[in-house]
Structure 1
């Protein structure tokens, strides 16, 4: 996570450099500056690889694999007419072996683990993390409460736009759907940078449309870099 404090930008931006080149990051930063030149708002793009570790779902994976191996043992026994000494013990043992294997697999393979997570649970953690990011990045600390957080959670495939209260008061919530769509479309087509840039520029035009104009003494209150949400999985 990168906080709004300038000193934090000295840390390696490992997640960002995994998905974006330096020229991509510079282009995103330039897009923020261009969009903000049309308005008094401060736009804060935030890129997270994931919004939660979902480690608790590894236990659910263990439950599934334990049940699967137990059912497989029972089925094989019935189909092939196998007769075992201490049959009940072997049945229980097959369940435990499957459960331990499943726990190891889903613990070590986070991309597989996240497939077990229901959509509403992913949405809950994305919403929670986005609100934390809004506070941590101090998006609310603008002169006229005109900050905007664009939160992107890659593995969950969710994007959220959170405007501060003065913008939310003027711009209808439905207007942000296009900003979300542009990023999602970019992610789907392998054009992450292009989608983010297009979304940022759209936000600038949208704010201009709703007459949130730049003031004469307008200052850049929040840095223009895209924030690194870190690795949670």
Structure 2
């Protein structure tokens, strides 16, 4: 679902501080603790400003602007006769000028570049980065393989819930849609913190519903700190 360095760091880092206040982050961290008090699972919220740099699409932008400039020049020349002499040379120059301008614009302005990226490409890179984050944060290192990664890619506006194999075996994949929806609705309405907190608490209730109970010797196997995935753009 979508709401319209490669190193991974713990707080405090720039990405989270730009999107959330310290009190917001503390509330999200507290929600992790509250949700985990109902279950033996470990919940890991992970925020990425982006899941890919998408710089390769700058070349596509250059192709588009070059083509548009060339067509515009050709049309204007035929209509108004803008230049005398070697029209072909001027047409080629106009294509190159447009391509260079487009390359610069799409290379230096990520928000413009992302407009060129198709939905399925963004989803592919988010899925890939979600799996990388799961491994980097070692969410799999729980006694009973009951870790969950909540991955939020801010630039792409995409959320993924990625459970470890024991939880995936018990909880149907469709059940996580509500956890995703709560975050997306919070982002859309300007209530980012509230949506994330609600989603984390929902995960705790869902795991309890599917009998992922707290065990007698249960301990906090993964830190409740919110992960900051840094910036790739």
Unaligned segments of structure 2, at least 5 residues: 1-5
Q: Give the corresponding residue for 2:3.
A: none
Task: State the aligned residue count.
Answer: 228
Q: TM-score, normalised by structure 2?
A: 0.95
Measure the CA separation in 2 of the matches of 1:84 and 1:225.
68
* Aligned pairs (5 A) from 1:76-225: 76-225=76-225
Shift of 1:12: 4.1
Shift of 1:82: 3.4
Measure the CA separation in 1 of the matches of 2:105 and 2:125.
23
Q: Which runs of 4+ in 1 moved over 6 A?
A: none
Shift of 1:83: 4.4
Where 2:71 maps in the other structure, the secondary structure is helix
Unaligned segments of structure 1, at least 5 residues: none
Query: Is structure 2 residue 24 aligned with structure 1 residue 24?
Result: yes
Note if contact 1:65-1:98 (Cα within 8 Å) is conserved in structure 2: yes
CA RMSD, Structure 1 to Structure 2 (Å) = 1.2
Q: TM-score, normalised by structure 1?
A: 0.95
1:81-128 Cα deviation digits (max 9, x unpaired): 334211110000000000000000001101110110000000100000
